[in-house]
Structure 1
Amino acid sequence: MTIASLLEPVTGQPGPAHLVHAQDWMQGRTLYGGASALVAYTMAARAFPGLPPLRAGQVAFVAPVGETIELSAEIVRQGRNVTQVRSEIRCEGKVALSAFWLFAQGREPNAVRPADPPESWPGPPENNAVVTHDFAPSFVANNFELRFGQAKGTEHGATVRRWARLTEQHDLDPVSKLVLMGDVMPPGAMRAMQRTGPISSINWSFNVLDPESRSREGWYLAENASQHADAGYSSERLRMWDADGRQVLDGIQCVAVFG
């Protein structure tokens, strides 16, 4: 199943939609977070064609997203350079995902500061071993190729970092690919858990640093790092770099840690 097939029912028109090919993107009883965020982003982009590039997104994962959904999108404010759009996914009449998107034209820069390169650069993806999918959710095995992004035998703390790319040939635009892949890693809190238990993303806020990113052979280095974990929740920082070490996405996330 292609990602285009998943997005085909998202026409930009408000109302019900049936994600016929959602099964390959399910994570337990809900659509994988990156895929559900992409559905909401695609709804916003198709509802209002001609928007400037996406610069930021705020996504609330409220409830499980299944195959049968209802979509909506509205422009909250449209200025000379910036357009802010809200889109929602409803399931069984209740909000399952609510997203706020910031689209903005580029301007002549007054501040220029390149993002820092990743610490402990693992080398290009082809120099790292393939990650097996023995313990990964089925949506990962169905749709992604992973390679290690951290040196073996070293202390990783509460950080998970992997090279990742989509296995299918696709025609996703650069921003859609970043939205789809930005949440692919498990939370870094996984490395700090005392007992095995479920983990669930509650929200995801991110900035797109390069809306035209086209990384070599589709590889991106994705990292989730727990900044603080306690009381059943973890505050995570999510980042992505292209194959040349340029950061393309920067975000934060709240994760519920059960068990």
Structure 2
Amino acid sequence: MSIANLLDPITANGGETRFSGLDHWMQGRTLYGGASALIAYTAATRAFPDLPPLRAAQVAFVAPTGPEVELRREVVRQGRNVAQVKSEIWCEGQCTLTAFWLFGTEREANAVHDAAPVADWPGAPEDAEPAMHGKGPAFIQNNFEILRAQEMQGPGEPVVRRWARLTDREGLDPISELILLGDVLPPGAMRAMQRQGPISSINWSFNLLEPEPETRDGWWMSENASQHAAHGYSSERLRLWNADGKQMLDGMQCVAVFG
């Protein structure tokens, strides 16, 4: 039901759109970033259904997003192999999210090598212990199953790694599923914070390594690792692997770390 609340109101025409029953997807006073990114992506693909597979995206979380929005989308450029589409969410007269989606047809490979194997493989999700039970924002408690994928707890190396699975995946294609859960974890900088304080995603850029990602039983291993944190911001690397340890998504994010 919660997935339907996110996607059913989105039409090919875009424009003024009202969502209902989004309480389970809120993160404070705004819609969870993965959910708002999925809305923007779905608005683009429903407006332009003949696009090739998604290859990459750049998403900026500009301001809080609520249930009453205006959905804007346009083809910025359509080439022979690559199409770039911009989609935006507007609330109360201001842009709250803007995204560029890069779609590309498959080419004959002239360079081939696999992503490096995951370091410190934690084992299969079926053997992992539950994590974040009763903790975290409402959108996590209501929509995700989270399992431990690293032994470390508390302060330490600025890396957060967890198995994550949507409790409701009905009707979702694999790309939409990755967009919805790609931003689910707190930043790795959380482990380096000197005191508790709020954190907020500012942007999210990612490349898809497979046009049709697959996993087992809906489980994906997500990792947020702070590459550098200072001056109230953290540069984070975000990655997703399937249940067999094959990397499917490689991304970066800027996070505001408040004191």
Please classify the TM superposition score into its range, dividing by the shorter chain length: over 0.9
Match of 1:167 in 2: 167
- More off after superposition, 101-110 vs 152-161: 152-161
1:68 aligns with 2:72: no
Give the counterpart letter for 1:199 in structure 2. I
Which whole-Å CA distance do the structure 2 matches of 1:200 and 1:161 have between them? Answer: 18
Match of 2:158 in 1: 158
* Structure 1: runs of 5+ lacking an equivalent: none
Give the counterpart letter for 1:258 in structure 2. F
Q: Tell me, what secondary structure is at the counterpart of 2:44?
A: helix
Which whole-Å CA distance do the structure 1 matches of 2:18 and 2:123 have between them? Answer: 42
Q: Tell me, what secondary structure is at the counterpart of 2:234?
A: strand
Match of 1:256 in 2: 256
Give the counterpart letter for 1:207 in structure 2. N
Residues 92-125 of structure 1, C-alpha deviation per residue, up to 9 Å, x if partnerless? 0100000000000111110001001111000000
Q: Are residues 169 and 74 of structure 1, via their aligned partners in 2, closer, same or farther at CA, if it must alter by over 3 Å? A: closer
Contact 1:30/1:65 (8 A) holds in 2 = yes
Contact 2:154/2:191 (8 A) holds in 1 = no
Q: Are residues 92 and 183 of structure 1, via their aligned partners in 2, closer, same or farther at CA, if it must alter by over 3 Å? A: same
Structure-to-structure mapping, 1:42-121, within 5 angstroms: 42-121=42-121
Contact 2:34/2:184 (8 A) holds in 1 = yes
Q: Calculate percent identity across the aligned residue pairs.
A: 63
Contact 2:135/2:141 (8 A) holds in 1 = no
Match of 1:35 in 2: 35
Residues 222-249 of structure 1, C-alpha deviation per residue, up to 9 Å, x if partnerless? 0000000000000000000000100000
Which whole-Å CA distance do the structure 1 matches of 2:140 and 2:242 have between them? Answer: 19
Q: Kindly report the root-mean-square deviation, in angstroms, between the aligned alpha carbons of the 2 structures.
A: 1.3
Residues 126-147 of structure 1, C-alpha deviation per residue, up to 9 Å, x if partnerless? 1110114332111001000010
Measure how far apart 1:151 and its partner are. Answer: 2.1
Give the counterpart letter for 2:42 in structure 1. T
Contact 2:155/2:191 (8 A) holds in 1 = no
* Structure 2: runs of 5+ lacking an equivalent: none
Which whole-Å CA distance do the structure 2 matches of 1:134 and 1:56 have between them? Answer: 33
Contact 1:174/1:211 (8 A) holds in 2 = no
